[in-house]
Amino acid sequence: MSANSILLDFSLDPARIIDEVSRKDIVRVCKEGLEKYLAGLKISYDMLTTDGYLCILSETGTGTIVTIRFFEQGLITINVEYYRKDGDEAKISFEQIRELENNLVQKLKFNHGQSLPPLQRGPLTRYFPTADERVIEYDIDRVLFDKRSEFQKIQIVHSRSLGNMLVLDELQNIAEADLIYTETLMCRGKEDYAGKEICILGGGDGALLYELLKEGPKMVVMLEIDEIVMQACNKYMNTICGDVLEKRTDDNYEIIVGDCMVYLRKYIKEGRKFDYVFGDLTDIPISDTPTGEIWDFIRTILESSFQVLKPDGKFMTHGNGVSCPESLRMYEDQLAKLTPKVTYTKSSAFVPSFMEEWVFYQVQREVANATESV
Amino acid sequence: MSANSILLDFSLDPARIIDEVSRKDIVRVCKEGLEKYLAGLKISYDMLTTDGYLCILSETGTGTIVTIRFFEQGLITINVEYYRKDGDEAKISFEQIRELENNLVQKLKFNHGQSLPPLQRGPLTRYFPTADERVIEYDIDRVLFDKRSEFQKIQIVHSRSLGNMLVLDELQNIAEADLIYTETLMCRGKEDYAGKEICILGGGDGALLYELLKEGPKMVVMLEIDEIVMQACNKYMNTICGDVLEKRTDDNYEIIVGDCMVYLRKYIKEGRKFDYVFGDLTDIPISDTPTGEIWDFIRTILESSFQVLKPDGKFMTHGNGVSCPESLRMYEDQLAKLTPKVTYTKSSAFVPSFMEEWVFYQVQREVANATESV
C-alpha cells in the first residue's frame, strides 16, 4: 500500500540543440514508449520553465501521472507515479523500466540512460541514508515498536535480511546481523577484558555489554539515559543483548539509567577508575547536560573519560563511515587537541545494517618518551 | 552536474477526510514550509486526478518545480526538483529535508513522514538494484571504461568505498572489495584444490582463476566468451585478477576465448574429466548456442558439467541473494530434476558490492546408497 515513483533520466550530447520541434518529437516517442505499459496517455498540461520545459501526462481512467521534464543543460527526466494497493501487480516492472530506458536511449539517440527500481512511498519507512547521505532501501516489512521517549523517536523494525533493527530518530542504529559492529568496537581477540573494570557510556541496545560479559570482566557499569530504548531492545533484540537488559544487574555488571555526564562527574569526584571506557552514544549526542555544540560535547566526553581511566586505560568508540573522510578527520582533530595528550589506533569493519565500512577508534594516553622520562 | 529529486511523503489517518478546504490548507502549510528553503513559490497549475489532486508550484526566478500530490488513500507526496550544477550547494540539505518532514508531520498532524536523501539524476549511474530490486545508491564518482561488446554492455566504474567495479548490462558484477565473493564461491579452506583439474565456465573478471592458482591446482581451464570483459578487467581490476588475464596461459592454466557450451561438448566427446567445474557465468546467460529459456540453459550447463566431472567431482556456482528465496528455490528445483541425481551444500557471505548476503552452491553426484551398491 504505497505510491510508486518510477524515475528515469536521460543525458543528451551537450551540443545537441532541442528546439520546439525536436522537443515535441521526443515527448511523442516517450509517450509511445510509455503506452506499451500504460493505457492511453494524454497531455494534461505543459509549461516552459526557467531552464527548460515540463509536461504532465495522465493515463486514461486511472490516477497514473507522468511528468516529463527537459533541462537546458542536456537532461530529460521522466517520473511515473501511481498508487499501488497491496497485492496489485506493478504497472511497470523494473525489467520493463530498464527495457523502456534502453529503447528510448536507442530511438532518441541519448548519450546515457538511468532508471531506478520503483520507489515506494507510504507508511513504512524503507529508505535510510549512509554516512555520506546516499540512499539505501532496506527490505523492511514491518514495524515492531514505535514510540517517542523524552529523548528521541525509537523504532524497532524488521528487515528480511538483517533481522530486527533499532532505528533512533530515523537513523539505523544496530541490527541483529551486526555482531561484527560490537566485535570491532571492542577489538575482540586483541583486547583482554578478563578481570577488568569497564564503563560503557550509552550502549542502550545492550549488545556491547552482552559481548563484554563473555570475556570475564571484573565489573561493567553501563550508563544509559533512555529507559525506553532498553525496554524495546530487551523485547525485540534478544539475539544481540541476551538477558542483560532484562536483569539489569548481576555480580559483574550494573546498568544505571541516567545521564552519563552526571555519572562521569561523580566518578571523577570519587576517584573511581576504569581500565576501559566505551563511547557507545548515538552520533548526535543526547544529554540533559548542556555542552554547546557537537564537537564540544564529544571533547567533553573524551576529557571526562580520561579522568576516570587508569594511566594505561583505553577509550574505545565508533567513528564514522569510510565514506566520510572529513568527519573522521574532524574527530582526529579533536583527539589531537585533547588534554592529556593521546595516541590512537583504528579498527574497521563492514557493518551490515550501515551498508558500509565503519571506523572505530581506540584512544590511549601518550606515553612520555624516553628523553622526557629520564 | 545532475538534476536533484527530493522526495517526501506523508501518511494520514485513513479516517481523515480531506475536503477542498483542508486540502488548500495543507498545500498552504507545505508551501510555507518549503519557502523556508526556496524563494517564493507560486502555484503554476493544479488538477483533480482520478484518485486525488495534483498541484505544481514554481520557485520565483529559478527552474525549481515542486509537485504536491494527494492520494485519496491517505497519502500525500511532495517532489522538489531542480538542476544542480557541479559545485553548487544543495538548495535543501538532507538535514533540512528531515527538518521539513518533521515540521510538516507535527503541524499537519500526519501519521507518518518519510524522506529520502536527494536523488541525483544525470550522466553517472549511481543506482543499482539488489536481487530483490531494492535501490542502492553507490558512491560512484567516475566511469573508467564504457564499451558495448557483441555480447553485453561493459563498464568499469570507480566507487569510493568498493574500489573499481565491473558493471555488465547495468548490473553490478564484482568489485575490488569482493574477495569474499570468490572465497565463498570456491569454499576456500574447505576444498583442497592442490593437484586438481578445474574448469571455469565464464569467470571473465579473472578473480576466481587468480585465487584458485594460489591453491596449487594441476590445471585450470577458463572458458570466457567476452574478450572485451577480460581486457577491461586486466586494465582496471588488477587487485582481484593479478596478471592472469594479461598472461592468458601458463604451465597450470589456460584461458580460452569462446562459448563454454562448445568447449564442454568438445570435452565430453574427448572424454576429458575435471575435479571441479565452476559456473561463474552472468546471471542472465550469454551463449551463442541457443538453449531456450533461462532455466533450460541453467540445466543444460549443469548436465553438461556433470558429463565432464569425475565421479566425485563438484560443480560450484553462485546462486542468488538471500532476499530472493523464490529464485533460490527455483534453482534447487532444477537441481532436483537433474540427471544424474545430485546432492548439494550451500555456502553464503555478505558480498560488499551486492550489498547483501549471497548464496553459493556446491553440487555433487549422489552416492548410491549401501543397499543398492551391494
Alpha carbon distances (Å) from B35 to B38, B49, B82, B154: 5, 25, 15, 44
C-alpha cell at position A328 = 573522521
Nearest by CB: B75 against A58, A121, A350: A121
| Residue A141 · residue A122 · CB < 8 Å | no
| Rounded CA separation B254/B234 (Å) | 15
Substitution target from A49, A95, A132 for chain B, most B beta carbons within 10 A = A49
Nearest CA to CA, how far is B117 from chain A (Å)?
6
Residues of A taking part in catalysis: 280
| Closest-CA distance of chain A to residue B240, Å | 19
Q: Which chain A residues contact residue B11 at CB under 8 A?
A: 122-123
A172 vs A187: CA distance, rounded Å: 22
Of B6, B7, B31, which Cα lies nearest the Cα of B108? B31
Q: Are B225 and B301 in contact (CB under 8 A)?
A: no
Burial of A64 (0-12, 13-18, 19+ CB in 10 A): buried
Q: Using CA coordinates, name the residue in chain A closest to B63.
A: A50
Q: pLDDT band at residue B291, thresholds of 50, 70 and 90?
A: low
- Within 10 A of A367 (CB to CB), how many other CB atoms are there? 12
Q: Is B39 helix (H, G, I), strand (E, B) or coil?
A: coil
> Of B63, B98, B132, which has the smallest distance from its Cβ to A52's Cβ?
B63
Contact status of B114 with chain A (Cβ, < 8 Å): yes
Distance CA B29, CA B25 (A): 6
Chain B's closest residue to A119, CA to CA, is B135
| A325 Cβ contact partners less than 8 Å away, ≥ 6 residues apart | none
Structural contact between residues A299 and A291, judged by C-beta atoms closer than 8 angstroms: no
| Rounded-to-integer distance, Cα A113 and Cα B205, Å | 25
Peptide bond before B118: cis, by omega within 30 degrees of 0? no
- CA A365 to chain B, closest CA, distance in angstroms equals 31
Question: Min CA distance, B161 vs chain A (Å)?
Answer: 6
| B228: amino acid identity, one letter | I
Nearest to A114 by CA among B322, B332, B167: B167
The verdict on a CB contact (< 8 Å) between B133 and A94 is yes
Please give the Cα distance from B55 to B63 (Å, whole number).
Answer: 16
3-state secondary structure A139-204: CEEEEEEEEECCCCEEEEEEECCCEEEEEECCEEEEECCCHHHHHHHCCECCECCCCCEEEEEECC
- Average the pLDDT over B48-73 and give the result: 96
Q: Give the residue among A101, A139, A129 at the shortest CA–CA distance from B118.
A: A129
Find chain B residues with C-beta within 8 A of A119's C-beta.
7, 116, 135
Note the pTM of the prediction, 2 decimals.
0.90
Residue contact B134–A123, C-beta within 8 A: no
What lies within 8 Å, CB to CB, of B154 at 6+ separation is B145, B146, B147, B148, B166, B167, B168, B226, B228, B229, B232
Buried b (16+ CB within 10 A) or exposed e, A175-195: bbbbbebbbbbbebeebebee
> Among partner residues A117, A126, A133, which is closest to B117 by beta-carbon distance?
A133
Q: Please give the share of chain B, as a percent, with pLDDT higher than 70.
A: 95
Check B121 against A114: CB less than 8 A apart: yes
When CB atoms are compared, the residue of A69, A98, A133 closest to B94 is A133
Query: B114 and A98: CB-CB below 8 Å?
Result: no
Residue of A nearest to B115 (CA): A127
3-state SS class at A317: strand
Q: What is the pLDDT of residue A297?
A: 84
Mark residue B169 as left, alpha or beta (left: phi above 0; alpha: psi -120 to 50; beta: remaining).
left
Query: pLDDT tens track of chain A, all 374 residues?
Result: 799 999 999 999 989 999 999 999 999 999 999 999 998 999 999 999 999 999 999 999 999 999 999 999 999 999 999 999 988 999 999 999 999 999 999 999 999 999 999 999 999 999 999 999 999 999 999 999 999 999 999 999 999 889 999 999 989 999 999 999 999 999 999 999 999 999 999 999 999 999 999 999 999 999 999 999 999 999 999 999 999 999 999 999 999 999 999 999 999 999 999 999 999 987 665 555 555 577 888 888 999 999 999 999 999 999 999 888 888 998 999 899 998 999 999 999 989 899 888 999 999 999 866 454 43
Q: Which residues of A touch B73 (CB under 8 A)?
A: 1, 83, 85
Choosing among B136, B324, B359, which should be mutated to test the A contact, i.e. which has the most A CBs within 10 A? B136
Q: Domain extents for chain A? A: 1-119, 125-171, 175-363
Alpha carbon distance B55, A225 (integer Å): 45
**In terms of CATH architecture, what is A1-119?**
2-Layer Sandwich (3.30)
Confidence (pLDDT) at A369? 60
Q: Specify the residue for cell string 536527494.
A: B118
Q: Is B178 on the interface with A (CB under 8 A)?
A: no
What's the CATH number for B175-363? Answer: 3.40.50.150
B256, B219 contact by CB (below 8 A): no
Choose the closest CB to A121 out of B1, B61, B77: B77
Which cell goes with A313?
Answer: 586505560
Find residue B208's DSSP bridge partners.
none
**Catalytic site includes residue B280:** yes
Q: Give the one of B11, B49, B111 whose C-beta lies nearest to A65's C-beta.
A: B49
Smallest CA–CA distance from A146 into chain B, residue: B112
Condensed to tens digits (0 to 9), the pLDDT of residues B75-114 reads: 999 999 999 998 899 999 999 999 999 999 999 999 999 9
The residue annotated as part of the active site, out of B178, B205, B275, B280, is: B280
Q: What is the amino acid identity at position B204?
A: G
List of chain B residues whose C-beta atoms are within 8 Å of the C-beta of residue A354: none
Which of A98, A136, A323 is opposite residue B160, by nearest beta carbon?
A323
Q: Is A136 on the interface with B (CB under 8 A)?
A: yes
Cα–Cα distance for residue pair A174/A229, rounded to 1 Å? 12
Fold of the domain spanning B125-171? Spermidine Synthase; Chain: A, domain 2 (2.30.140)
Res B374: pLDDT: 39
Q: Is the dihedral of CA B362, B363, B369, B370 positive or negative?
A: negative
Task: Name the burial class of residue A165, with classes exposed (0-12), middle (13-18) and buried (19+) by CB atoms within 10 angstroms of its CB.
Answer: buried
**How far, in whole angstroms, is CA A85 from its chain's centroid?**
28
Put simply, whether B120 touches A (Cβ < 8 Å) is: no
CB A280 within 8 A of CB A322: no
What is the nearest CA distance from B51 to chain A, expressed in angstroms? 5
> What DSSP string describes B279-293?
EE--SS---SS---S
Q: Write down the pLDDT at residue B373.
A: 43
Whether residue A350 and residue B350 make contact (CB cut-off 8 A), yes or no, is: yes
Nearest CA in chain B to A180: B350
Q: Which helix (H) or strand (E) holds B168?
A: strand B163-168
Q: What is the pLDDT of residue A295?
A: 81
**Rounded Cα distance, A229 and A232, in Å:** 5
Q: Which residues contact B86 (CB under 8 A, 6 or more apart)?
A: B1
Q: What is the pLDDT of residue B293?
A: 76
Question: Can you spell out the DSSP letters for A3-54?
Answer: EEEEEEEEE--TT----HHHHHHHHHHHHHHHTTTSS-EEEEEEEEETTEEE
Select the residue of A77, A98, A121 nearest B7 (Cβ to Cβ): A121
CA nearest to A113 within chain B: B123
Q: CA dihedral defined by B77, B81, B87, B91, rounded to 10 degrees?
A: -60
Q: Rounded to a whole number, what is the distance in Å from the CA of A163 to chain B's nearest CA?
A: 12
Distance between CA atoms of B165 and A241, rounded to whole angstroms? 37
Residue with cell 520545459: A53
Residues B153-181: what's their mean pLDDT? 95
**Which A residues 306-345 touch B at CB under 8 Å?**
321-323
Q: How far apart are CA B319 and CA B185, in angstroms?
A: 10
> DSSP secondary-structure letter at B111?
S
Cβ contact B3–A9 (<8 Å): yes
CA distance B178 to B162: 8
φ/ψ of A166, rounded to 5, equals -85, 130
Answer yes or no: are the C-beta atoms of B113 and A170 closer than 8 Å: no
Distance from CA of B258 to the nearest CA of A (A): 27
Q: Chain B contacts of A3, Cβ < 8 Å?
A: 9, 69, 71, 75, 77
Interface of B with A in 22-81 (CB under 8 A): 44-45, 47, 49-52, 54, 56, 58, 61-63, 65, 67, 69, 71, 73, 75, 77, 79, 81
Helices (H), chain B: 20-34, 94-108, 179-185, 207-213, 227-236, 238-241, 244-247, 260-270, 294-308, 325-336, 370-373
What H or E segment, with its residue span, contains residue A116? none
Q: What is the ipTM of this complex?
A: 0.90
- Are B161 and A352 an interchain contact pair (Cβ–Cβ within 8 Å)? no
Residues of A in contact with B71 (CB under 8 A): 3, 63, 83
Contact A56 B45 (CB under 8 A): yes
